[in-house]
Chains A and B, each alone.
Chain A
Amino acid sequence: MAASVSVSVVPAAEGLRAVYTSGKTRTYEWRVSQLNAMLKIATRHEKDFVVALNSDLGKHEHEAFIHEISAVTSACRMALKELHRWMKPEKVKTSMTTFPSSGELVPEPFGVVLVISTWNYPILLSLEPVIAAISAANAVVLKPSEVAPAASEAMAKLLGQYMDASAVKVIEGGVQETTALLEQKWDKIFYTGNNKVGRIVLASAAVHLTPVILELGGKCPVIVDSDINLTVAVKRLISGKWGCNSGQTCVSPDYVITTKPFASKLVDAISSELERFYGKDPVNATDLSRIINSRHFERLTKLLDEDKLFGKIVIGGQRDKTNLKIAPTVILDAPLDSLIMTEEIFGPLLPIITVNDIRDGIDLITSKEKPLAAYIFTNDKKLKEDFVQRVSAGGIAVNEVTIHLTDPALPFGGVGESGMGTYHGKYSFEAFSHKKPVLYRGFTGEISARYPPYTTRKLKFLKAAMSGNIIGIIRALLGW
């Protein structure tokens, strides 16, 4: 099996390199044709994607469309609209040191790139990076996640049908295929997933000095202050947690921090809004995605069943093993050394940690690894400023969760354990471009003081010229 995997991966990579070297992918026309093809896929085959996402994740059409398909069409449309502007070299002002001269920054593709995608937003997290790679004129291999097989198959079929297969390839498979791919030399790798595999990707990339973007995860905290519009806050919280693939989302609130006096109000509000959203039998709500597979289901139930959590479940806890559903579950004051408070949850379980002073919440957050996102609900200006200043995360949202992702003006990516590099909007184009500085000179503007033989007088002149010292320049020229 391994031999035949390498046999298909190696020629695929070599084929792409030959096509890239021919210059085909660099033209404006090619990029536009591919972006238009991708747009056709996302608009004509919306139903196919909705069905695949439902099959893999039990994802409701609402989420399939809003979170994945419409984001893909948006990315295509933005790239089509902005491509001319993004491709244009950026003129740069040059200084006295190189006078007379002009300079510009020329964006060029890295070359042949690898996109490794994941299972929770399999369409979005595969196609958006591919769109980025194409708009920047790279040839690209997409490796979708085998954990979401229907989406993987749909993408392999549709991209095979609509895209220029000589420069845009989909390679399906599992660990073996990914390993074979990582042995090849790529000019850039874009990986979305967890930090264990992220380390493997980085180590493989090191062999070829390949630059890498890692979109990882982390425990995204939410501080909930008192003296806020609690109903709105809770609706947004629920929407960002359970309304995003049952919490299986890299930027979902992982855990909440609030003050001891406020906790019961918060729990009551969550309970009541959860019922408004999902009814009295949430385990069977079709609006909620199921857990992706039994491995993750076991992982999540293990978090809930840990002794340390006994008696602390205040909402939910019901589960349906056959259908891989877990009800929206809230745990109050799980110990900080419990499993649920030390690993990324990635599921429909929400611990609430209570503190005496809301500011202690910031200390708790900064004692942990840097997450992909951090959130705070507050009307307290000073607390807000303190939070923004002290909490390092990929991104921050105030009085909102997760939607900062949807704004193309904001770069999306992690820091520390949550990743490196960013994309979205024009950052997507930049993620896959090398900005090459070019300095233009003519044959005039010679300063002979630059050249040997070196003399004290020449050095005096240059020192004066560099410090803008006119008298010094004249003195040096006159030999004083």
Chain B
Amino acid sequence: MAVCVETAAAELRDVYSSGKTRTCEWRVSQLKAMLKIAIHHEKEIIEALNSDLGKHEHEAFLHEIAAVRSACRMALKQLHRWMKPEKVKTSMTTFPSSAEIVSEPYGVVLVISTWNYPILLSLEPVIAAISAGNAVVLKPSEVAAATSSTMSKLLGQYMDVSAVKVVEGGIQETSALLEQKWDKIFYTGNSKVGRVVLTAAAKHLTPVILELGGKCPAIVDSDINLTVAVRRIISGKWGCNSGQTCVSPDYIITTKDYASQLVDALSSELERFYGKDPVNSKDMSKIINSRHFERLSKLLDEDKVSGKIVIGGQWDKANLKIAPTVILDAPEDSLIMNEEIFGPLLPIITVNNIKDGINLITSKEKPLAAYIFTNDKKLKEEFVQRVSAGGIGVNEVTLHLAEDTLPFGGVGESGMGSYHGKFSFDAFSHKKPVLYRGFNGEISARYPPYSPRKLKFLKAVLSGDIIGIIRALLGW
């Protein structure tokens, strides 16, 4: 296995060195091939997502396939513009001169993907790498086996396999890949493996983008349109792969006074969305596997928490389904309030004053996203100012990801680097500054032998002191 990973990496390096991937034509051909995959094989991809995750066609299409097509189309439309060097105005220090910033690929890059949006989180970074002119290896998650196999087959069929490779497998394959030298690594997953990736990258001084997770909080203020807020929360939590989403609201903070209204609204909208028997609703993804199912039931079964379930709590072990579950006031030191939930369980923490919510959030690690539902301008401003997170949504959850003009990525424990839209191209490009001069514009004061007069002159020039310049030139 290690032998074939090493050979694959070496082959990619040769192909990259030949310059093949750097042409506009090659990039366009690959982007078009990817678009064909996402269009012609929609049904196959939907089936694979259903097989791996029980993901409904609606989510499979909207959250994954549509986003991949969008990324291809945007890259195809913008590529010429993105590839163009950016002219830069130079200053007096280098006069006369001109300059530009030239985008160049890093070279041979590694994309390690994950299981919850296996198509999106594999193909979007690959599209980014290709648009920037890199050769790329994709390592899909073995936890989503059907999609891994589908991507391997389709990319093998449509893409230029000498420069775009899929390596399937588990820990062994990933470890073997991480021993190779890459010019950039893009990892999506959890912070534990994120550290392993960073440590491996350190050996080769490889720059890394880490898209991790965290406990994404949502503050719910009173005096809002509660029905709309709750629909959006439900949509961003259970309507996104049953809460197995890096930017799903992990927990809610609201005031003690408002909590029962919120719980009632959640209960009633949940029924409107998923019916009276939500455990069996086909609209909700299943839990990915029994290991995660056990993990989630353990969070619910903890003594501190089991008596505080106010909605749901039902599960179906055979089918790996857990009903939308809301817990009111789980203790601060419970498991559910200390690890990233990544499932269909939603704790609500109540505070006396809504502003205490901000203090609670800032006492924890920086999450990938943070949300607030409010009409209070001052509270909103304070939230945006004080809460550090990868990104913030006001009166909305998860949707900021869909906006191409906003960079998507984490900070602190939730990651480093960003992508989406033009940031995707930038993520896989080295922006190389180039300064152009001719042979005129000599300032002999630069050169030895150094003298007080030369130094006086240069000091005057640097401070724009015209009189000083003249005096120095005259030897005063």
A residues engaging B (CB < 8 A)? 21, 23, 60-63, 65-66, 70, 74, 92-95, 97-98, 101, 103, 105-106, 108, 110-111, 187, 195, 198-199, 202-203, 205-207, 209, 211, 214, 216, 228-229, 232-233, 235, 238-239, 243, 277-279, 285, 287, 366, 388, 390, 392-400, 403-404, 406-412, 415-417, 419-420, 422, 434-443, 446, 450-454, 458-459, 462-463, 466
Contact = CB atoms under 8 A, between A and B. Distances in A.
B56 to A, nearest CB: 5
B399 A98 contact: yes
Contacts of B437: 397-400
Given A94-B403, A395-B435, A409-B91, A462 B62 contact: yes
A209 B447 contact: no
B93 A403 contact: yes
B61 A463 contact: yes
Contacts of A60: 450
Contacts of B430: 392, 415
A410 B99 contact: yes
A238 to B, nearest CB: 8
Contacts of B416: 209, 211
Contacts of B476: none
Given A400-B97, A441-B393, 20 more contacts: A62-B454, A97-B399, A103-B400, A199-B203, A202-B202, A203-B199, A206-B201, A209-B195, A392-B432, A397-B436, A398-B437, A400-B437, A406-B93, A410-B101, A439-B403, A441-B399, A443-B229, A452-B273, A452-B283, A459-B58
5 contacts: A278-B448, A287-B449, A388-B102, A407-B90, A438-B391
Contacts of A366: 17
B405 A416 contact: no
Nearest to A201: B202
- Per CB-CB distance, the 8 closest pairs between chain A and chain B, nearest first, are A206-B198, A202-B202, A437-B406, A443-B225, A439-B400, A62-B450, A229-B439, A454-B58
A103 B101 contact: no
A95 B405 contact: yes
Contacts of A198: 205
A396 B225 contact: no
Listed residue (A61, A92, A454) with the most chain B CB atoms within 10 angstroms of its CB:
A454
Given A62-B455, A399-B436, A452-B239, A439 B406 contact: yes
B205 A195 contact: yes
B396 interface: yes
A235 B99 contact: no
Contacts of A233: 439
Listed residue (B194, B195, B205, B437) with the most chain A CB atoms within 10 angstroms of its CB:
B205
B25 interface: no
B99 A407 contact: yes
B389 interface: yes
Contacts of B402: 97-98
Contacts of B19: 390
Interface string B444-467: 001111100011001100100000
B205 A92 contact: no
A148 to B, nearest CB: 21
Contact of B436 (A106, A214, A398, A446): A398
Given A406-B93, A407-B90, A277 B448 contact: yes
A410 B239 contact: no
